[in-house]
Amino acid sequence: MRRALVTGVTGQDGSYLAELLLGKGYEVWGLVRRSSGAGAARLAHLAPDQRARLRLVEGDMTDPSSLRKAVREARPDEVYNLAAQSHVRVSFDLPEHTAAVTGLGALHLLEALREGGHRPRYYQASSSEQFGRAREAPQRESTPFAPCSPYAVAKVFAHETTVSYREAYGLHASTGILFNHESPRRGEAFVTRKITRAAARIRRGLQRELLLGDLDARRDWGFAGDYVDAMWRMLQQDAPGDYVVATGVTHSVRDVLDRAFGRVGLDWSHHVQLDPRFRRPVEVAALVGDATKARAALGWAPTVDFAGLIDMMVDHDLALADAEARGGTPPPPAPEPA
């Protein structure tokens, strides 16, 4: 039985990846923090036979000894490093924490692999934010990085460290430069989910208004389930590499509002207010990716388009709002930190 170690297993991508790997017969070891209460809910739906092959090991990306222990115990064939402080605006408030977890954490993990002597294949969760004020559009593997947030700087560090460990020590280490990907399991502080949650709750009379920072920003949004499949495909290649994963289509925050509120039959302009607290000190205005290499080399293609993605999220959030209205679970969304 193949074994995989997944950091960030309680996150959006971690839960989809764990599901994918368990479905392929892997034993999955997930690194979890003691404080991972809410995130653990993302793994609650696993079938009993899958749950039996999911082993949770306590650890933290800022604690190298816990990573060494996790690697020693799991003896993985594949390691997926998904753990991060992943919120861009929050990284301006917590720059050192973000650097420690998102940047240095990857180095600690790579060192644990190198020192361990056991040489699993390694995946690094890189980000389209690394392109920042992008020098060209669409962005591809050769586009220079121009990070403009503490998060993006930390991701560039982790990315370049991965490339340098590949070159220096011959590790089978790959990076996936993933553009935004969303799902019903997306954290509620990211803009798509913030909007779909609000559209559903406003429709059901549980909320009146939605506060947003910027309606003009454009992103290339895909479905998280598709993107974890690309991660797995990278580690099945004979040679490691770097891959952009994207749909190639860009939309604005305003487009998300149109689709989500349209789905519930409301006019968003009656409910949305701009609030500068949700703006970033520096905004990445537009990103769009060119996944030609991933399509050709990995045989990967997205299966869910923008409209299908937003509809899927709204429908899920309508069911949550219905449960909330009936007085059942879940509680209202936690407010996005401002």
Annotated catalytic residues are 127, 129, 151
Q: Which is nearer to ligand G4F, 27 or 182 (CB)?
A: 182
Q: Is residue 213 a contact point for ligand G4F (CB under 6 A)?
A: yes
Cβ(55)–Cβ(120) below 8 Å: no
Which of 7, 36, 86, 162 forms a contact with ligand G4F (CB under 6 A)? 86
181-157-286-289 Cα dihedral, nearest 10 degrees: -60
62 binds, among ligand G4F, ligand NAP, none (CB under 5 to 8 A by kind): ligand NAP
Question: Which 126-185 residues touch ligand NAP, going by CB under 6 A?
Answer: 127, 178, 180-181
Question: Which 55-74 residues touch ligand NAP, going by CB under 6 A?
Answer: 60-62
Question: Which 185-214 residues touch ligand NAP, going by CB under 6 A?
Answer: 187
What distance in Å separates the CA atoms of residue 227 and residue 212, rounded to the nearest whole number? 26
283 binds, among ligand NAP, ligand G4F, none (CB under 5 to 8 A by kind): ligand G4F
Taking alpha carbons only, the member of 178, 249, 213, 221 closest to residue 313 is 221
Q: Is residue 121 a contact point for ligand G4F (CB under 6 A)?
A: no
Tell me how far, at minimum, the Cβ of 276 lies from ligand G4F, in Å: 10
Q: Is residue 212 a contact point for ligand G4F (CB under 6 A)?
A: yes
Strand locations in the chain (E): 3-7, 27-32, 54-58, 78-81, 121-127, 173-178, 181-182, 210-212, 218-219, 222-223, 242-245, 251-252, 272-274
Give the burial class of 329: count Cβ atoms within 10 A of its Cβ; 0-12 exposed, 13-18 middle, 19 or more buried. Answer: exposed
Cβ(29)–Cβ(73) below 8 Å: yes
Helix (H, G, I), strand (E, B) or coil at 329: coil
- Interaction mask 155-184, ligand G4F, x per CB under 6 A: ------------------------xx----
Q: From residue 75, how far is each of 70, 113, 144, 272, 278 by CA, in Å?
A: 8, 10, 35, 50, 42
Cβ(78)–Cβ(53) below 8 Å: no
Q: From residue 9, how far is each of 30, 101, 327 by CA, in Å?
A: 5, 15, 30
Q: Which is nearer to ligand NAP, 92 or 206 (CB)?
A: 92
316 binds, among ligand G4F, ligand NAP, none (CB under 5 to 8 A by kind): none
Q: Which is nearer to ligand G4F, 86 or 143 (CB)?
A: 86
Q: Which is nearer to ligand NAP, 171 or 287 (CB)?
A: 287
Cis peptide before 138 (omega within 30 of 0): yes
Cβ(300)–Cβ(230) below 8 Å: yes
Pairing of β 78-81 and β 210-212: unpaired
Question: Which 18-47 residues touch ligand NAP, going by CB under 6 A?
Answer: 31, 33, 35-36, 39
Q: Residue with the closest Cβ to ligand NAP? A: 11
Q: Is residue 194 a contact point for ligand G4F (CB under 6 A)?
A: yes
In this chain, which stretch among 188-196, 223-231, 292-300, 324-332 interacts with ligand G4F, using CB under 6 A? Answer: 188-196
Question: Which 259-278 residues touch ligand G4F, going by CB under 6 A?
Answer: 278
Q: Is residue 13 a contact point for ligand NAP (CB under 6 A)?
A: yes
Interface residues with ligand NAP (CB under 6 A) are 7-8, 10-14, 31, 33, 35-36, 39, 60-62, 82-86, 101, 125, 127, 178, 180-181, 187
